[in-house]
Each structure stands twice: as structure tokens, then as C-alpha cells.
Amino acid sequence: MVMTTTPCGTSSLARDEAAYIGELRQVQRSWLERFWNRFTGILFWTQREEDPLIVGGSPAAITEAPFMAFVSSSFPKQGMKKLNVGCSASIISEQWILTAAQCLYDERGNFATKVTVHVGSADSTSGTADQPSGTDAKADRWIPHPNYSRDDNTRNYDVALIHLRKSLKLDSTMQPICYPQSDDVLGTSISLCDQKAYGWGYLQTTDQSISTILQKLSVQVTPVTSECTTYTDGRIICVKGVPPSSGICFGDGGGPLVVRYNSRAYVTGIASFVQNNTCAAAPAGYTRASTYASWVKSTIGA
């Protein structure tokens, strides 16, 4: 299913060395800088940086995943505290972004009052001289699935759409990903396809060091859904990291499971939940994108 007139799912798996070096410089920050960022975040309560997280991954150039977007949701002040929630997301058209519904709520259940989407860069912040800053796009609508329950992500319906005020100017760093109307993700043929998870966040669970650089991880969809959920209707798929001790951590807030087929990238799943606080110990639960194809299509067309 194509959400845009622009060809979807195009990307370059060949590594851009200049961008890669710049990304590595950002990842290899000193322990003092990481400590200071976490300390000021806790002290002033300005950013909740728990989503999305990839443990055991490696840096990805934006030209490899030009469909990636970083979502920042703002919420009403609680006294002197202002809370922002960061999540991963996918570009599915010039004006629509796909993410998880949980990314639009804070811990108290308040709905986001402002949403900004950062695209066009592997750096989720303002960037450096080595890494282009990308584009901050303001949203005018953000729509969670009407059946989503924030009290229990495992019920699923954990999918949301974000509409941008202005259309993105697509280039090699900004491209829509293909949205599947159907899939064989629980079959055997997917084993022949490249499967990856993308996102920003913690690099390790032991020290919880935060990365501002896009990470990628080779993953595998498990054919047995009972490994992560009690639902057997296929609306939730279970995903685990291929390298030992790797995987998605603490929900990965809206990050895509990307399956490449016939040289095109498809958003096959949307990161929804993990089973425990020990990252990479068990498969994570992903919203199966094709299950919600009709809702996505009708919402975009409304």
C-alpha cells in the first residue's frame, strides 16, 4: 500500500563514510558528558529519554534509513516541571508520520499538547559540523488509534499517525517507507529478507548511556507469537535481536521493524513493549502494521 505518489522504501545500504565518521564521533562521547546530560535532565525534568532504545546495535547513516523520524511530544506543565517525551517514528508520506500511540501520552495519561518531528538526520538533536542538522517539522494533528489503551500496551492498537503542517521536501535523507497491506511476516519466506530495527536511545542497560545517533540492529521475527503475547490473532509479532545479548529495550516507542523485500523497505512492525526490565532477555512485542492498514488508509484519506 502506497501512501504517497513518491516511490516508497528507497534507501542506500552502502555506508556513507563521511556521515558514518561524524556519527561515530557523536556516539563516542565522554562519560562526563553523558553523566551531565542525565543529571540536568533529572534535575530540571526537561526530557524523558527512555524511548526508543536499542541495545547491542550499531550506528546507521540516515541515507540507509531515510524514512526515520524522531518525535518529541510536549505535555502540560506539572508545577514547575515541563515534560517532553522522545520516540522513534517512520515517514510514510510527505505529510504523515507513523509511530506508537504511547508516544502521545505522558506517565499520568495526559495527551500531548505539541508534537515536533525531526527528520533528515541520524542525529536526533540539532546536529554538528560533521552531521547535518536535519529539519524540525511541526505537527498540526496527532491521532492515536481509537481503541488504544495506555493502561495495557499488550492489548495492542499501539499505533498513531502524526500530520505535518507542511509537506516534507523529500531527498536522499528523507524518504517515505512502504506500508504493507498484507504480509507473510509469520511465515518462512521472511527469513530470506533483511530484517532490522532502527531507533535512538540507550546503548547499554547497565550504565544506560544515551545515544543521540540513530542505531540499527539485525533482528528476527519469531514465528511463535506466544513468545511475547497471549494474543494469537497475529496483531502482535515478537521480535528478537540476532546478535547475542541484543534487542529492543523498554518499548522502543514507535520505532519500525523494517523488512526489505525486492530492494524496498517496508514498515512491518511498530515497537510497542518489552516483557521485562532486562533488555534483550526476551522477544519484544511489535504492533503488526498490516493489521491496521485499513485504519491508516482511512485516517490519511479523511
Residue ranges covered by each domain of the chain: 1-302
CATH of domain 1-302: 2.40.10.120
Specify the pLDDT at position 141: 97
Q: Is the peptide bond before 52 cis (omega within 30 degrees of 0)?
A: yes
Nearest Cα to Cα of residue 174 among 66, 12, 63: 66
Q: Which residues of the chain have pLDDT under 50?
A: 16-20, 23-24, 26-53, 127-132, 207, 251
Q: What is the pTM of this model?
A: 0.83
Specify the pLDDT at position 1: 63
Separation CA 126–CA 38 (nearest Å): 18
